[in-house]
Amino acid sequence: MTEKQEQHRRDPQYKQAKRHGYRARSAFKLLDIQKRYNIFKRAFYILDLGSVPGSWLQVAKKFAEENLNKYKDQYYHRDHYKIMGVDIKKISPLENIKTVKMDITTLEFQNEIEAYFEGEKIDLIISDVSINKSGNKFSDHVRQINLCFKIVDIIKKNLKPKGVFVVKAFQGSDFNGLFKNLKSQFRVVKTLKPKSSNKLSNETYIICLGKK
């Protein structure tokens, strides 16, 4: 085991994640976002981008299952859920979740979405996709924002009107361009640096509610 892996294993949040049965500590970031913005409200069709190792999928499944019983009323509800996770790396299987090993920026991925959701629009799209960091904060920021714009194309095609979108970005000079673009497409757009996110990193999440 490398020194970095050992440090990671000693991390209290890593231990807490393991105690809760989560595959990674990132689960707590999504739970922080949920606590603040209730993004899983009436979410039955969910797409998780950049899923490995799978802790966001675990969280999504928990809420989607709860929603089946919680929302049995005259408003929008479903009697089943569909969750799809995608990553360029292989995702270890999770029961009742569709996992695909694919680059999200490809045309094949769009075809895969349409096939799995059978042409229906998605309630919630969450993205923790992260570029492979080079260590150069500026170029990493620019590459991450470019990737976020490609993800915006995915939500334009697949997220339902009034749908919710969460995306990880890195703070920097191009951040405002992305933020403004999202503001034109959603009723409410906020940023959140989850408590569980590394204080030294420039990562932040953009939470977009109510697609226009």
Ligand X SMILES: C[S@@+](CC[C@H](N)C(=O)[O-])C[C@H]1O[C@@H](n2cnc3c(N)ncnc32)[C@H](O)[C@@H]1O
Among 88, 96, 133, 176, indicate the residue that binds ligand X (CB under 6 A). Answer: 88
List the structure tokens of 66.
């709860």
Binding residues for ligand X, rule CB under 6 A, total 21
CB 23, min distance to ligand X, A: 6
**176 φ, ψ to 5°?**
-60, -35
Give exposure, 56-70, as e/b (b: 16+ Cβ within 10 Å).
bbbbbbebbeebeee
Residues 44-73 that bind ligand X (CB under 6 A): 50-56
Binding mask 177-206 for ligand X (x = CB under 6 A): ------------------------------
Give me the residue whose beta carbon is nearest to ligand X. Answer: 50
Q: Does 83 bind ligand X (CB under 6 A)?
A: no
Q: Which amino acid appears at position 15 of this protein?
A: K
By beta-carbon proximity to ligand X, the closer residue of 88 and 115 is 88
Q: Is 185 exposed, middle or buried (0-12, 13-18, 19+ CB in 10 A)?
A: middle
List the structure tokens of 104.
């999200």
Torsion sign across C-alpha atoms 90, 154, 174, 29: negative
12-20, 123-131, 152-160, 189-197 -> range binding ligand X (CB under 6 A):
123-131
Residues lying near ligand X in the complex (CB under 6 A)? 23-24, 26-27, 50-56, 86-89, 103-105, 128-130
